[in-house]
Structure 1
Amino acid sequence: MNKFIPVNEPKLKGNEKRYLEECIDTGWISSEGPFVERLENAMAELCNRKHAFAVCNGSAALELAIKAIGVGPGDEVIMPTFTIISCALAVFRVGAKPVYLDSDSKTWNINTADIEALVNEKTKAIMVVHIYGLTVDMDPLLNIAKKYNLKVIEDAAEVIGQTYKGQPCGTFGDISTFSFYPNKHITTGEGGMVLTNNQEVAERCESLRNLCFGKRERFIHKETGWNFRMSNLQAAVGVAQFEQLENNLKKKRKIGFLYQKHFQKCEAFTLPLEKTDYCKNIYWVFGMVSKDSKRKNRWWMRKLAEFGIGTRPFFYPLHKQPCFSHLLKVKKKLDCSESLADFGFYLPSGLTLTEEEIFKISTTLLKITEINNE
């Protein structure tokens, strides 16, 4: 029986166990333990940010960021429709309205040329989400934000360690967020991070993350916040993972290189760009889009599953999510995002993936394409 190849498997081969044992031996398992600050400092240094706040997951990071920069009822936030649902949830939960952008067909990120037409008197912010390993083209976006005095939230969850024109992702805009879910370049199991250079925003993050405890009278609350704290146990894993970040990035790019090599002559799929004018693909995942109008992503995924190969579909557009239909009606079609959702999927891309497994995955998919082209 063939061994199943999962779409992702975290690599825990560094100091994770040692640091976890240190937490247990010292009794520091809560959010007040020293590994939390170590991880915050490491991420702040990586992203050239003055302030970093570890939280319990990436969704919490987005909610904290949106609230901390002052987005509220009646505001509009321009954002991609092709992204994880957490991005829209953060906007809806403060009473604001998402205004969706379609994707660029080549990079799968938002097309920054479409942003300015969506700006109006209600627009408060632009949410940037770097998708699958390539960055958004930030310069035009930041120019628009400056022109109209808009806040910028940068969701860099999928590009830890990536750069835009040599500048680390996570450094752009008013506030940036990360996720440390097990499929990310570094993981804490569940976890996230919020970063900013603004002192006032930092103070808001610190308070909101910790239930808005009173400064003088701890249990007198003038505002409601969340318990979004990260535990020392989670942070211990994160510190160990951070020590391996450079190696992890090299491994991701090698995975991408090998897949590109195997599929370079295959006409059945659109492959991810290897690079743009402003960044080199970091291959958080290796995505591909079926060119066959009769065979959508689920067809290819079922075929690969028959051979013990895990896959995952691309994001489903936010403007078509059933759970939001009563909150926001989007009449116009966002064709590229809808097509990506129908025809896009990604192959196993985790850090434990071997060259032999990549070869098996690639040859299997190529055989499937050959058989069905006969």
Structure 2
Amino acid sequence: MKVPFVDLSANYHSIQEDVDAAVHRVLNKCDYILGQAVKDLEDNFAAYCEAPYAVGLDSGYSALELILRATDIGPGDEVITAANTFMATALAIWSCGARPVLVDADPATYTLNPALLEAAITPATRAVIPVHLFGQPADMDPILEIARRHNLLVVEDACQAHGARYKGKRTGSLGDAAAFSFYPAKNLGAYGDGGMAVTRRADLAEKIIWLRNVGQSAKNLHTLKGFNHRLDTLQASILLVKLPHLDQWNAARRQSAALYNQLLAGAAVVTPQTAPQVEHVFHLYVVRVHHREALIQVLNEAGIGTGIHYPTPIHMQPAFQDLGYPVGSFPVSESYASQILSLPMYPEISPEAVAYVCDTIKAFVKNGPASST
């Protein structure tokens, strides 16, 4: 049996007729830049996130960056985020001229540990970016309470958490603003790059609209020094087709995650924990294992794809050595980075495929890593 890490082809073929028709509508209309599909997607995605405003952009990275820029965060400012996130989170802060300040992960959920947040705040702190990692929302209530006491902006990095809920509320509606990525492998993925900024603030949405389109508040009137970070109309048309399926696809992911948990019980593998009052959407199904490289080899030989998200914490990346954090600064993130392994996860994965992955892992654990040599 072959089990890919993700199967984009299966997803496309399940909605091929509708996707092809949507693309052809754009091609016939020729409204390729900020066309009607972009506005329709913004309206529909804002409603889905239970937020008033959404602005289509070219990536989740751009969404984070433009949210920060729209609030005038820049040189001399600090923005707190998680040590164990994708590089784009920290790069968005750096792109504004601000300094990323890192906080370690919660040992159970892998999201930013609220108990460590207040100690990271300084007079230069302007914002906090909690990351909804792997599809699980961060523990937002204590984060929001601390942020409000210190008058800090809260920006959700929801790039892996389309449709997730925290205490009944959608990601995207929890903080002052949120960033989503539509990278093809995401729970709601385009067929190229794309992103969305979601906010409850009209002033913030307006500035992001200007910033994304070379600073124009009206045609040829450049109110701000802006950028070219527009969402492509073709991608928006595809996402409009996919959005109504998102809850169903997320439910399928949760079902597969539950099966993984059941079949891996007692197999010397640490399976994901879902926090109370959270609806996890399992963008990734991440376990912790010993002898990870040997297990990856065995899984690869069995035709099973895997990933590692993420093998190197932000402060240990060469690009961010200038932050000055020595090894050992974030023990949870550093320890887990050598153990985490992402197993195949996508809405169309079959129970038989999940069982095959689990049987292969259990055989590895039973026989020991030496059996793979």
TM-score > 0.5 by shorter chain: yes
Match of 1:123 among 119, 122, 125: 125
Instruction: Specify the alignment match of 2:265 in structure 1.
Output: 264
Q: Could you say what secondary structure the match of 1:152 adopts?
A: strand
Q: Could you say what secondary structure the match of 2:85 adopts?
A: coil
Instruction: Specify the alignment match of 1:283 in structure 2.
Output: 282
Instruction: Specify the alignment match of 2:201 in structure 1.
Output: 198
Q: Could you say what secondary structure the match of 2:115 adopts?
A: helix
Instruction: Specify the alignment match of 1:139 in structure 2.
Output: 141
The question of 1:24 aligning with 2:22 is answered: no
The question of 1:7 aligning with 2:5 is answered: yes
1:124-166 Cα shifts (integer Å, max 9, x gaps): 0001111112211111110111101001111111111111000
Letter in 2 for 1:272: P
Instruction: Specify the alignment match of 1:70 in structure 2.
Output: 72
Instruction: Specify the alignment match of 2:348 in structure 1.
Output: 352
Post-superposition offset of 1:214: 5.6
1:303-344 Cα shifts (integer Å, max 9, x gaps): 21111111011212101111122x321135211101111110
Q: Could you say what secondary structure the match of 2:333 adopts?
A: helix
The question of 1:362 aligning with 2:364 is answered: no
> 1:41-80 residue pairs with structure 2 within 5 A?
41-80=43-82
Q: Could you say what secondary structure the match of 2:242 adopts?
A: helix
Letter in 2 for 1:277: P
1:33-92 Cα shifts (integer Å, max 9, x gaps): 211111111111012222110111111111111211221101011110101100110111
Instruction: Specify the alignment match of 1:172 in structure 2.
Output: 174
Letter in 2 for 1:285: L
Post-superposition offset of 1:298: 2.6
Distance 1:264 1:7 in 2: 21
In the alignment, is the contact (CA less than 8 A) between 2:210 and 2:224 conserved in 1?
no
Letter in 1 for 2:358: S
Match of 2:211 among 182, 205, 208: 208
Distance 1:194 1:352 in 2: 28
Match of 1:314 among 281, 293, 309: 309
CA gap of 1:142–1:214, structure 2 versus 1, over 3 A, is closer
Post-superposition offset of 1:32: 2.7
Distance 1:324 1:220 in 2: 37
In the alignment, is the contact (CA less than 8 A) between 1:137 and 1:278 conserved in 2?
no
Instruction: Specify the alignment match of 1:39 in structure 2.
Output: 41
CA gap of 1:342–1:70, structure 2 versus 1, over 3 A, is same
Distance 1:214 1:202 in 2: 12
Instruction: Specify the alignment match of 2:116 in structure 1.
Output: 114
In the alignment, is the contact (CA less than 8 A) between 1:314 and 1:340 conserved in 2?
no
Superposition RMSD in Å: 1.6
Distance 1:220 1:176 in 2: 27
Question: Once superposed, which parts of structure 1, at least 4 consecutive aligned residues long, lie more than 6 Å away?
Answer: none
In the alignment, is the contact (CA less than 8 A) between 2:162 and 2:281 conserved in 1?
no
Letter in 2 for 1:35: A
Instruction: Specify the alignment match of 2:300 in structure 1.
Output: 305
The question of 1:86 aligning with 2:88 is answered: yes
Q: Could you say what secondary structure the match of 1:172 adopts?
A: coil
Match of 1:97 among 74, 96, 99: 99
The question of 1:372 aligning with 2:368 is answered: yes
TM-score by length of 2: 0.93
Q: Could you say what secondary structure the match of 1:243 adopts?
A: helix
How many correspondences in the alignment?
Answer: 362
Instruction: Specify the alignment match of 1:343 in structure 2.
Output: 339
Distance 1:7 1:357 in 2: 11
Q: Could you say what secondary structure the match of 1:313 adopts?
A: coil
In the alignment, is the contact (CA less than 8 A) between 2:111 and 2:130 conserved in 1?
no
TM-score by length of 1: 0.93
Distance 1:270 1:143 in 2: 31
Instruction: Specify the alignment match of 2:252 in structure 1.
Output: 251
In the alignment, is the contact (CA less than 8 A) between 1:8 and 1:351 conserved in 2?
no
Gaps of 5+ in 1: none
> 1:179-190 residue pairs with structure 2 within 5 A?
179-189=181-191, 190=193
In the alignment, is the contact (CA less than 8 A) between 2:22 and 2:241 conserved in 1?
yes
